Each structure stands twice: as structure tokens, then as C-alpha cells.
Structure 1
Amino acid sequence: MSNDLRRLPFTRSHVERTFPKLTVKQVGRIRKHGHIRVIKAGEILVEQGDNIVPFFVIESGKIEVLRPSGKIETLITTFHGFGQFTGGVDMLSGRRALFRARVTKSGNVIEMDRQQVMALLQSDPEIGEILMRAFILRSVELRAAGVGDVVLIGSPNSARTFQIKEFLTRNGHPYQYIDLEHDSEVQNLLDNFHIDINDIPVLIYRGKLVLKNPNNQQVADTLGFNETINQTSVRDLVIIGAGPSGLAAAVYGSSEGLDVLVLEASLPGGQAGSSSKIENYLGFPTGVSGLELTNRAYTQAQKFGAEILITKGIRLACDGKPYIVESESGARIPTRTIIIATGAKYRKPHLRNLERFEGMGVYYGASFLESQFCKGKEIIVIGGGNAAGQTAVFLSESAKHVHMLIRSAALAENMSRYLVRRIEDNSKIVLHTNTEIITLEGDTHLESVEWQNHITNKIEKHRIRNVFVMAGAVPNTTWLDGRFALDSKGFIKTGSDLLPEYLNTVGWPIARQPYSFETSLPGIFAVGDVRAGSIKRIASVVGEGSVAISFIHNVLKE
């Protein structure tokens, strides 16, 4: 290995919390959970890609963390001095090591495995808070710096590039992005890996494995997201969907001692994870981005022991007990109870070419990723609810103008008053009432739109390349194959909505009536936006996910 070391510049804010030093008393308490290990200069403690990643607290000596790439090592950080400790959020998920850890000065460390760390986090609140805060802040720093074991080569003219970026971001995996359109040196990299322009986007893992135009499941499998998860043991609870309601159920269920597995098809956080800013959620007076809120919930669930499996093609086998949850990979996961938290998605307008422009000018969320396309440009936001209002306000900070298109005559019916006032007072936001888009035009990317006012019938054409659709809600229930009682709009009926005469017809098998949030199959619950009658507010769906756990306990006792 070459001695060519390149130091990674980290921001200096929050350094003391990102790389804190534990006190003598705190180290003494940690010593009871692990064992003393003598380390020697030059020793590799962790290699990039290792499946088993120990946690170290330094009593003496020095450890440097490096990202290897061929003959070049990038220095990420150095741990030295009594009380400093290694590790990040991957300690919670059990994912592979992103970096190499090497001893540069001999000494002694306290070594712990993942299960010992999890026990420490749950049993010692003071140390647990220090470690969790450091783990989260380190993850934020790595994502901001674009440092990890993945290089993504793509183009802003590729919808799939955007989708992979979103997948990696939502799953908290840091990556380096190389833009084909703006990086003059990228051709050398393409030639080195024998990549044709038609293979884009390309994901390069650890400088060795090359994935050409991969789907999300291939990315998850390559990065080892699911490696440590036992998919055959009988679970107390399987939660399908890692949006706010599913993550709330995971936090409360695992913290109360249940063996919880969460299944997510693609993007943890659901619709909320793509929200630019949530300002009316209790406890966040200055607001919080949907990504930050749901990432914290994701980490919190893992802290208490919930496991999260990224998988597609989920179906249920409910003919006997335990229930079986089947995945596209062929895994058959047995479970005593199930919570369905698959949420809803924005209704798609009936427009020719719509699917052609999805990810290439038409978007269903507005996070930092999407905002980068809007700097100095005119954009359109479709919808009159809070999500649309938050998006319009957020994107107006960078866009030239934001055109809000709503089919109704005013905003006040479906939008919080504080958002209505902000939109009315924002000179960069133009409200178009009684209006909807009628055509989308473009070649590889959306280039222009036509909209029509239904009162005047006037049609206008505008050269606008970015449209954000946030109108209406369609439940994610098509995968249920008619096994559950649904309302006329396709949402799952639960609790008191399941009338006695219906239960008699389908043969409800037990004496009691369904619990709140329980579906037409005993022990299977539905919470959040997927449930008929739910209030489409994040605080409400979080409440449903947490309350459902009390009924899960009752079912497990039956």
C-alpha cells in the first residue's frame, strides 16, 4: 500500500459532539460490557467491507480511519487519547464496514461487538445519548462530504440516476457522485471500467464491482443492506412499510421488547421523507425536513433492536398461523402479527407522456435533491394541500418563480392558515386557481407544459422544465390481492368500520370484535395513510403506529 494519504476536510462545527471524549467514569462503565484488547502499530482492526465490525473505546494508543481506493488512502479521521471511540450508525444496522481502521500507535482499547453496543445503548442512557448523537452526526458529515464506498456515475438527463441518488440518500448510505455532463475527467474512469455511455447510470462499489444501470434491489444486495437479517425465524411483529407510521410502530414495539422486522420496498420515510420542511409537527418550532425526521426515526428504531429489510414483491400467506410474509427473493418470513403501513402516493394526473417524464421533469417529492434542478428557473407545483404549500415555499427560495396550480377556487379549504399566508405574501409564488395541466412536451426531458383555466377555458403554454405533483392520495393496497376489506377508494377498513354482518359473512374466526386498527384478518393491523378514515397528518399517523402496539400485545397474549 502506498503511503499517499489524502486528508478529508470535515466541517469544524459540532466537533466536540461528533468526536467526543468519554470521562473516566463512563469508560469504566463501558469496560463492564466489553473486554480489553492490546493493539499494535500497523494492525488492521477493521477492513473495508467487513461484515463483522467491532466497536472500540481507546484507553491508550491511536487509530486512524481510512478510505482505501487502489493505492490511495483518504484519511477520514483519527481517534486518539483516552475516551475517544469509533463507530457510526452502521453499528446499529449491522451493515458492512465503509472504511479501514488501522492502528498507528500501540496501546489498549475496550472492544465490543454489535450486540454488546446495542445492550449498552439501551441500558445506560447517559452513554447512549453521547454515542447516538456522535453516530448520527458522523453519518451527516459523511453524506455531506460524499464519502463512502460507492461512486455513482450519472447524468441529470437520466431518471434512473435520480432514483439511485434518492435510494442511497433515504437509506443513509454516503456516496460520491460524478456528473457526466460536467466532469471532464470522467471518460478516463469509464474507459478504465469498460463502461459504455448506454450503461449509465453506473455504480462502482469499493473501486472493484461495477453495476450498470442497476435497480434498487440490486444496489441493496450489493451493499449488503440485508446480510445480517435472519429471514426464517418467527417474529413477534412484521411491519410492512417504513414511513412515519411504520417507523413509529417499530420504535414502540422494539422498545417494549418485541422482536420486530420492518420490510420496506425502496425508500424509508414514505411521502414524509420527501417533504422539504414540516413546521406543524409537535416539538419542532422551527420546523424539520422530512428526511431528517424520518432518518432519525429509522435510527431510533434500530437503536431499540428493530431490523429493517429492503425487499420488493411482498405478498401475504394468511391461511394459517403463524402468518407468512413472502418477498420477491423467495424468503418466507413467519410472524405472529403484522402491521400494514404501506401508506399512499400522490394521484397521477391523466396526462399523455407522464411516465416518460417521471424523474426527468415530473417529481412527486421536493427534497434537497430535487431543489437543485430549480435554481433560477420557473417551476410548477400541483396541489392545494399542506405538502404542496410546503413545497412551493421551500422551492421559492431557489426558483425564479413558482406557479401553484389548483383545481379549486382557493387554498383555504385544504391548507393550514400559516402556509396560506406565506404563499400570499411571497412575490415569487403565483397562484393559479381553477387550473390544471393538460399537456406535457419534450424530448428526453420535460421542456414545456400547457395549462387550462376551467372557468375561462383559456390555455397557456409555458417553457417550464420541472413540475411537482402533490395532489390527491391513492392507497398502496393493490398488492393485497383482495384479501382484506377495503373502502370504495381502496383504503383498508379497520376496527369499527368492519360491521358485524360483514364479519359474519367472511367468517371472523374469534369471539371478540376487531381492535382499533385491526383489519378483517385477526392479528393484522393497518395504520397511517393506507387505512380508511385516517387523518393525513404526520402526527396522526405516528400516533396510529404507536397505539397499534398496545393491541399487538393483546393479540400475542391470546
Structure 2
Amino acid sequence: MPETEPPPEPETDTRYAQRFPVLEPAAVETARRFISDQPRRFAPGEIVFALGEMGSPVWLVLEGAIDVVRRDGLGHEQAVVSHRPGQFSGEVSQLAGRASLAEGRAGPEGCTAAPIDAAHLRALMIGSAEVGEVVMRALILRRVGLIESGAAGSILVGHPGDANLRSLQGFLTRNGYPNTLLDADSDAEGRAVVERLGVQPDELPLMVCPNGTVLKRPTEAEAALCLGMTPELDPDTVYDVTVVGAGPAGLATAVYAASEGLSVLVLDQRAIGGQAGASSRIENYLGFPTGISGQALAGRAYNQALKFGAELAIPMEVARLDCAAEGAGLPHRLELTSGETVQTRAVVVASGARYRRPGIENLSPFEGSGVSYWASPVEARLCAGEEVALVGGGNSAGQAVVFLASKVKALNLVVRGPGLEASMSKYLIDRIAALPNVRIHTHTEITALEGDGDTGLTGAVFRDRRSGETHLCPMRHLFLFVGADPNADWLAQCVALDDKGFVETGRSSLSLQTDSPGIFAIGDVRAGSTKRVAAAVGEGAAVVSQIHQYLASLEA
């Protein structure tokens, strides 16, 4: 057994009491009404729940103690807490029915504990709002603690500038899974892992899962499988509604539909939050006067959807919608790239849009290696103290400029038009104007990039669209925020699209329904939608009442 470091002192954790609450006797009795099986006695040192165990319940301690430890893929172990009577184990993974991110062992005197599985845990949160609020807050704060601790989760080994490594790290981070990055060259432990495993340069990056499994150049799907993120879908289950896309619109539908008793499945090929999830700060969303990051907003919505019983399957990509059974009263079928199929009475298309690629010469070789389509903390760390450029004039571009400006030496904002007024909110324009290290290049476009596979991006050619004059701007990082194209290819001729590929709606009395009954579209993928987070959330809520009307018509 690896040596275990002691847990942090409670006095240094300002939210310790919320993270590890002790339920009052009355609250314990309330919780016991929701246990999923009889209490169980564990011998001293016996494993109560194992790291990576799928579907591990929350354990309510009745006698004795459960000692919880967290461990990373290299075997580093740290004590988290010792749960005493009136306390309970688990974090967000238990609410989702996914793999456990920690390990629990019965204390020196053993313990007696009662299990509360995911379904009964959700019932507790709905059936007892007061106790449910305490439990929900604790589960969320524990996941945050695992992420912040740096002593749990997956170990990533590679070169920090590598596109595959950045993509993998972004995937884990945006889905709220703890991870630690080791440089394969400059970090002693990173070098030791590479040498011990005899890994070749073309096999990097490595991902060492918490259970010790080593993956070489893993895909996101392979990483998810190793972490127990990917659920098994029953092909015979018929959901009331399946939402394709876990951005703000899709998550809103999940929350409202599940809270109203519909069986809900949400599918997304990468991460919760969509494009909004990559936003460093959203400041014009109602109710958050100081702003909120896209990832934080998505994380809250994700936990809320879980609370009401929605099933979220990430990463799982829809290959096509099979509309052959349309009009026959049969469920719609979604075919996944994994080969699985999903049956559903209604489909909500919330697949958003994919980043648009501008017509820049030799762009492809630098994508993910100097060129990024979002500005997360990962990218901010890579370009700290350097000169960078950002192309775009919309609100997402403005939010990225404000975020990056405090991290970089200088930022060149490239705009094709005469200014920002036509496409950006005034509060962002004013804030950018006050940033001393931001220079706005109007009537300008980038025509070519310089660099190679060894040095990466070294510069970009700026062209004045009025005079045709060009000049080279040295840089190692370029951010592109030039809009997006609808992600609707998977609909495979089943619904009507406009001339730009966006999904048309409103041809019936149900304003968000497509021309195919039971297929609805919301958010950025819908033709005529307002490209704002608040508008997407509003459509996600509004579509639920229309789904009810559609389902009622089927029953009638």
C-alpha cells in the first residue's frame, strides 16, 4: 500500500463544514428513509468503495468510520477525511452513477454504513429539500476539492505545447475531472515515467489513469472509458426526450424536462457547456452582476440536471438521425458513432455550431499548436508574458480579449471592419478601450502564417484591406473567434435547413418544432436564433412545454 499523506487541517479549509457536514439525528433519520439496501457492517480496513468502482453508492455512516483517500495514477496517496456517524461519502460521480474518484476503507474499529444509490440519492434531494441541499453542496465542493488538490485524478505526460496534450487536458478540465500535467522533458517525474515505460516520442502524450492504467496518445473516448465517464446505454430503453448537445440550451432542456418528470438523455461528443463553456467570463447573463465563467455556469447546470434525474452521456457522438420510422408512430432512432442506438419519442437538436476556419494560407499545420479557437486557462498559461493576436469582433472575441489581456505582454485585435460597434456589446468595447496592452487593427485580415513543425507558430502576416499593404507580426499564439457554422450534418436530410445550413423551425403551431414531428431545434443551430447564452437557455426552457404538447398528441 502506498504511503499516505495526512489530510489538510480543517482550520485551513474555509468551507470544511460544508464539504464534510455532520447531519443532525433528525436529518439522519430522514436520509435513512432513502437508503437503497440494508445497512452493512465492514471489518477494520475493509474496502467500502474502491477507486474507479462504477455505480458506487453514497454511504451514510451509522457506526465507526470510513477513511477516505485520493490517489493519482502514479500511486501518490493522500488522506481526505474520516467520515464519522452522521456523515456520508461520495461526490458528484455518485450522483451521476459514474466511477468513484476516491477510495474508502473502514476505520480501525470497522464501520456500519447504509448505501444510497444514485436513484435514491436523487429522490432524497427532491423529497427532502433541506437535507438534499446539504448533501448536494457537499458533493459539489468535494469534486472541486479533488480538482484543486493536485493529488488526485489522471496524470498527463507530454510536451505542454503539443496539440494532442492540450486537447486532452481541455477535455478533462471542461468535464470537471482532476488532472495533473508533467512535462516529459523538464519535469523529473515526467522523464522518469517516460523512461520507465520505454515510451517513444510519437507515443506521447501519455495518460495515467487513477487506477494505474497507461494510455498512449489516447483519444477522448478512450480517456473517458478509462475514467468510467461513459455510460452503457440500453438499446431497448425509449426515452421521452433525447437532447443532442450539452451547451446552455441543451442543459436547460435537461433541467426543465427532467424536473417535470420526463425521462431525459443528453448526448454530447466532447464536454458540457458547448462554446459558452470555453468563455472565461460571461458578464451580461441575468443574475450574475460580477459575471460567471462559462465552465462554472455549465457545471452548475450539469449538477442541476443530474439532481432531477437526467442522464448525461459524454463523450458520445451522434452519427445520424434515422427518420425512416417518421409518421409510423414509432420512436425516433439516433445512431451513435460507437455503433450504439438510442430510441426516443422526441429529439431536441441543440448541437450548436462548430468553429469557423478563416481563409488563412497554411492554417491547418498550426491548429492546436499555436492557433486556438478558444481561450481557456490552459491557453492563457502557454502564452503568458508573450505577444499574441486575436481575430474577431463579436462578444465571444471581446470576452477572450479581456481575459487574455491580463496574462500577455501585448494583444493585437484584428478586425475586418471599421470597428467593433456593429458586433460587440458596448460594455466590452469600453473595457477593451481601457486596456493599455491591446491594439486594435481595423480593416485588417490575416493572410498567412509563418513557422514550421519544429518551431511552431512564429508570426502572422497582417494585410490592410484598403491599401493592400502587408506586414509581419511576430507571435507564437493566434486566437480565432470568427463565428461558427451550424453543426447539423448528422440530421441527414431528416429536417429542413436554410441556405446556410441552420435548422428551420416554426412551420407548425409549435414554434421550435422542425418540419419533422417530434424533432425540435434550439440554440445556435436553429435558424433565426439570437446568439446569446440567455436566449439559448430561454429556448431550452420553452421547448419543454412544446414537447409536452407533442407527447400528448401522440397519446391522444
Residue matched to 1:506: none
> 1:232–1:332: 8 Å Cα contact kept in structure 2?
no
Q: Which amino acid aligns with 1:329?
A: S
Distance in 1, matches of 2:178 and 2:73, equals: 19
Residue matched to 2:208: 204
Post-superposition shift, 1:465?
0.9
Does residue 318 of the first structure (1) align with residue 323 of the second (2)? yes
Distance in 2, matches of 1:430 and 1:99, equals: 47
Residue matched to 1:103: 106
Distance in 1, matches of 2:23 and 2:319, equals: 44
Residue matched to 1:145: 149
Residue matched to 2:462: 451
Does residue 360 of the first structure (1) align with residue 359 of the second (2)? no
Deviations 1:91-124 (A, max 9, x none): 1211112222011133433332222111101211
Q: Which amino acid aligns with 1:29?
A: T
Residue matched to 1:61: 64
Post-superposition shift, 1:231?
4.0
> 1:79–1:86: 8 Å Cα contact kept in structure 2?
no
Q: Which amino acid aligns with 1:408?
A: G
Distance in 2, matches of 1:71 and 1:217, equals: 22
Does residue 556 of the first structure (1) align with residue 548 of the second (2)? no
Q: SS at the partner of 2:503?
A: coil
Deviations 1:226-267 (A, max 9, x none): 235434311111111111101110111111111111111112
Does residue 93 of the first structure (1) align with residue 96 of the second (2)? yes
Distance in 2, matches of 1:175 and 1:249, equals: 30
Does residue 122 of the first structure (1) align with residue 133 of the second (2)? no
Distance in 2, matches of 1:9 and 1:456, equals: 62
Residue matched to 2:20: 19
Distance in 2, matches of 1:114 and 1:483, equals: 36
Q: SS at the partner of 1:106?
A: strand
> 1:64–1:75: 8 Å Cα contact kept in structure 2?
no
Taking structure 1 as the reference length, the TM-score comes to 0.93
Q: Which amino acid aligns with 1:101?
A: G
Distance in 1, matches of 2:97 and 2:467, equals: 59
> 1:232–1:331: 8 Å Cα contact kept in structure 2?
no
Post-superposition shift, 1:303?
1.3
Q: Are residues 200 and 71 of structure 1, via their aligned partners in 2, closer, same or farther at CA, if it must alter by over 3 Å?
A: closer
Q: SS at the partner of 1:56?
A: strand
Q: Across the two proteins, how many residue pairs are aligned to each other?
A: 541
Q: SS at the partner of 1:372?
A: helix
2:500 counterpart (464, 473, 489):
489
Distance in 1, matches of 2:402 and 2:163, equals: 25
Superposed CA RMSD in Å reads 1.8
1:232 counterpart (209, 233, 236):
236
Q: What does 1:31-430 align with in structure 2 at a 5 Å threshold? A: 31-34=32-35, 35-67=38-70, 74-104=77-107, 105-206=109-210, 208-309=212-313, 310-320=315-325, 321-430=330-439
Residue matched to 1:510: none
Q: SS at the partner of 2:253?
A: helix
Post-superposition shift, 1:70?
9.0
> 1:383–1:405: 8 Å Cα contact kept in structure 2?
yes
Residue matched to 2:451: 442
Q: SS at the partner of 1:164?
A: helix
> 1:8–1:74: 8 Å Cα contact kept in structure 2?
no
Deviations 1:186-217 (A, max 9, x none): 23212322321210011122353221111111
Post-superposition shift, 1:49?
1.9
Q: What does 1:491-506 align with in structure 2 at a 5 Å threshold? A: 491-495=502-506, 498=507
> 1:494–1:514: 8 Å Cα contact kept in structure 2?
no
> 1:229–1:307: 8 Å Cα contact kept in structure 2?
no
Distance in 1, matches of 2:96 and 2:84, equals: 27
Q: Which amino acid aligns with 1:494?
A: T
Q: Which amino acid aligns with 2:357?
A: K
Distance in 2, matches of 1:218 and 1:541, equals: 31
Q: What does 1:512-523 align with in structure 2 at a 5 Å threshold? A: 513-523=508-518
Distance in 2, matches of 1:69 and 1:141, equals: 14
> 2:411–2:439: 8 Å Cα contact kept in structure 1?
yes
> 1:193–1:210: 8 Å Cα contact kept in structure 2?
no
Residue matched to 1:543: 538
Distance in 2, matches of 1:8 and 1:448, equals: 47
Distance in 2, matches of 1:86 and 1:128, equals: 14
Distance in 1, matches of 2:405 and 2:372, equals: 16
Q: SS at the partner of 1:520?
A: coil
Q: Which amino acid aligns with 2:158?
A: G
Q: Are residues 69 and 134 of structure 1, via their aligned partners in 2, closer, same or farther at CA, if it must alter by over 3 Å?
A: closer
> 2:73–2:208: 8 Å Cα contact kept in structure 1?
no
Q: SS at the partner of 2:292?
A: coil
Distance in 2, matches of 1:462 and 1:272, equals: 29
Distance in 1, matches of 2:73 and 2:369, equals: 35
Post-superposition shift, 1:286?
0.6
Consecutive unaligned residues of structure 2, counting only runs of 5 or more, are none
Distance in 1, matches of 2:430 and 2:538, equals: 28
Distance in 2, matches of 1:148 and 1:5, equals: 12
Post-superposition shift, 1:61?
1.8
Post-superposition shift, 1:456?
3.0
Q: SS at the partner of 2:270?
A: coil
> 2:72–2:209: 8 Å Cα contact kept in structure 1?
no
Q: Which amino acid aligns with 2:347?
A: I
Does residue 475 of the first structure (1) align with residue 476 of the second (2)? no
Post-superposition shift, 1:20?
1.8
Distance in 2, matches of 1:521 and 1:455, equals: 47
Distance in 1, matches of 2:393 and 2:82, equals: 51
Which sits farther off after the overlay, 284-293 or 152-161?
152-161
The sequence identity of aligned pairs, in percent, is 40
Q: Are residues 427 and 263 of structure 1, via their aligned partners in 2, closer, same or farther at CA, if it must alter by over 3 Å?
A: same
Post-superposition shift, 1:154?
1.7
Q: Are residues 71 and 524 of structure 1, via their aligned partners in 2, closer, same or farther at CA, if it must alter by over 3 Å?
A: closer
Distance in 1, matches of 2:449 and 2:427, equals: 32
Q: Are residues 80 and 261 of structure 1, via their aligned partners in 2, closer, same or farther at CA, if it must alter by over 3 Å?
A: closer
Q: SS at the partner of 1:139?
A: helix
Q: SS at the partner of 2:168?
A: helix
Consecutive unaligned residues of structure 1, counting only runs of 5 or more, are 499-512
Post-superposition shift, 1:416?
1.0
Deviations 1:442-462 (A, max 9, x none): 113211111111123221211
Q: SS at the partner of 1:111?
A: strand
Q: SS at the partner of 2:348?
A: strand
